[in-house]
Amino acid sequence: MKTMLQAILATTFLAIAPPPSPAMAAERHIENADEIVQQADWNAMKTVTVVFEEHGYTPEELRFQAGTAYKLVLRNEGEKHHYFTAPEFFRSIATRKAMVNGQAEIKAPYFKAIEVLKEGGQLDLYFVPVVRGRFEVYCTIDDHREKGMEGQIIVE
């Protein structure tokens, strides 16, 4: 009887428990990222540009389609250094590479944050979104976030 009651309670809990959040789903980086990157159609890649200013991102909201190849151009037009910090988002994508002004190429399973240096610094991130959801992006330097340097990334 006790075992049956435990089974009923466990089943009830699973039935009413909410689905995992994107943050929970992206606690670890995408394990088959290399395979996803290799299968992506990079000839049909979409380019999205984010401009960093004092103190904000333009646009403040980014939208991506899961399974589509992207080049995210992060360009700092401000007078200060700024971060593009989005750890849950970075763990939820399959990263191909990051390029710095065509002079350096960085390959890593995922990033936690990207700092783009002032007045013309630029980094291009090549990736495929995998996990759908809403993710925060913000600058972690001093009080930049409190001054409005934050936004949303939506993967549909």
Q: How far, in Å, CA of 58 to CA of 122, rounded? A: 14
Q: How far, in Å, CA of 17 to CA of 51, rounded? A: 39
pLDDT tens digits for range 92-144: 999 999 999 878 899 887 788 888 877 788 999 999 999 999 999 999 999 99
Per-residue burial over 23-62, b = 16 or more CB atoms within 10 Å of its CB, e = otherwise: bebbeebbeebeebbeebeeeeeeeeebebeebbbeeeeb
Q: Are 92 and 31 in contact (CB under 8 A)?
A: no
pLDDT tens digits for range 22-67: 444 445 678 899 999 999 999 999 999 999 998 899 999 999 999 9
**Count of domains in the chain?**
1
Could you tell me the residue range of the domain that residue 41 belongs to?
Answer: 2-155
**Which CATH number does the domain housing residue 112 bear?**
2.60.40.420
